[in-house]
Amino acid sequence: MRDRTRYLYLAVIVAVLLGIMVGFLWPDVGTALKPLGTGFVALIQMVIGPIIFCTIVLGVGSVRQAAKVGKVGGLALGYFIVMSTVALIIGLLVGNLIDPGAGLQLTDSARQAAETAAAEGGEASTVDFLLGIIPKTLVSSLTEGSVLQALLVALLAGFALQAMGPKGEPILRGIEHLQRLVFRILAMIMWAAPVGAFGAMAAVVGATGIEALKSLAIIMIAFYVTCVLFVGVVLGTILWVVARINLWSLLRYLGREFLLILSTSSSETALPRLIAKMEHLGVSKAVAGITVPTGYSFNLDGTAIYLTMATLFIATATGSPLEFGEQLALLLFMMIASKGAAGVTGAGLATLAGGLQAHRPELVDGVGLIVGIDRFMSEARALTNFAGNAVAAVLVGTWTGEFDRERAGQVLAGQAPFDEATLLDDDEPERREPAKEMTPA
């Protein structure tokens, strides 16, 4: 399956190049191909509601499971919330600073349509907006296309399942199966990505010419630079201050996992190895077993940066920039909606479409602009998410006194190599519970 997915990504790249060529050589034809991109976005919109519902309900369940372990779960979740917020703010700052979509206003008619839709959307009062979040029925929240309604019902269902205790476990398992079904449908839809990318790219290049390529290159480069700075400066500084561990030594230790992520464009593929390597490094079994899986749903730093920068790009490119208040509201929504999106191809794109649909529906068609470069941006997303979770395991282990720094020094120095054959350290059980005095509380 992974091999077939590689062919899909290759097809997307070829489709983007063909779309650029058609847009340059035959602008009218390129513009006429816009419905292909619009259709692909519509297919993604189709599964947004169920994806939001399933991921939020299961995410609330994960919070409950993490809270059971007391100090470890509380510290991990608190840290995840803080770092997700920091990542989102950095994405907003960089996005506003470089204004990546500037100069890419598609057409006067498109800008006029966006302004009209925005004006219509702004006529509703705050009370009407809040009342509109309440669906007519539980089921209609998933069928009427309102993301905020789906989010409300998902939160209510999640907390209700918490209150049910063990009796709610069968329902959670059922929702987990439903999530698998929805993500399988999403995976099928992603096979239409080459067609959508071809149509969207041909249309935007046909309408704006070289400005489209400049803007897409700017946002892609800016995203990579932002991710590198976030990992190197923010995470690197925190890791050194708290645990006295050099970030680059840690990343070098996880080199094979980074290569695995690059080949699959998903950090999920490296999850079991990350847990094993964190234990080998000196993080206790309990901390690694709780922090890493929970972080895969709640510590998505790369995804947070992507969502904010992509949103600002689309808003500016379609001639309908977001006000600062709208950006903050979108930031809050993205923090919630992105939970559980790790490792699922296309989930970041679906979350982006969901956020726009909830706040500025007239911008959803702009998601087609991102499809062509989403593959390249997903690489940086996955790598940043993975690095963030590796750092989180060390930090939480340090704060709880469950990290053996002496052992980590030996491992990072190459004196205690990781067993690639078994992924286990059965011959060294004593290091799994390091002495409390070895690390500060």
- For residue 115, the model assigns a pLDDT of 42
- For residue 269, the model assigns a pLDDT of 60
Q: Which numeric CATH code is attached to 2-438?
A: 1.10.3860
| pLDDT tens sequence across 394-424 | 999 999 888 898 899 988 988 888 766 555 5
What proportions of the chain, in percent to the nearest 5, are helix, strand and coil? 80, 0, 20
Compute how many other C-beta atoms are within 10 angstroms of the C-beta atom of residue 419. Answer: 13
Amino acid code (one letter) for 128: D
Global pTM value: 0.65
Contact between residue 340 and residue 53 where contact means Cβ atoms under 8 Å apart: no
**Domain coordinates of the chain in residue numbers?**
2-438
* Least reliable range by pLDDT among 140-154, 219-233, 286-300, 423-437: 423-437
Count the helices and strands in the chain (H runs, E runs): 21, 0
Nearest-CA neighbor of 300 among 265, 324, 275, 336?
336
Residue 341 gets which letter from DSSP? Answer: -
Nearest-CA neighbor of 212 among 314, 355, 142?
314
Higher pLDDT, residue 113 or 79: 79
Compute how many other C-beta atoms are within 10 angstroms of the C-beta atom of residue 294. Answer: 24
Cα–Cα dist 364/372, whole Å: 15
Contact between residue 233 and residue 50 where contact means Cβ atoms under 8 Å apart: no
Nearest-CA neighbor of 161 among 35, 18, 72, 61?
61
Cα–Cα dist 190/269, whole Å: 19
Q: What is the mean pLDDT of residues 269-293?
A: 80
Provide the b/e sequence for 385-416 (b: ≥16 CB within 10 Å).
bbbbbbbbbbbbbbbbbbbbbebbbebbeeeb
Largest CA distance in the chain: 71
| pLDDT tens sequence across 33-44 | 888 877 877 787
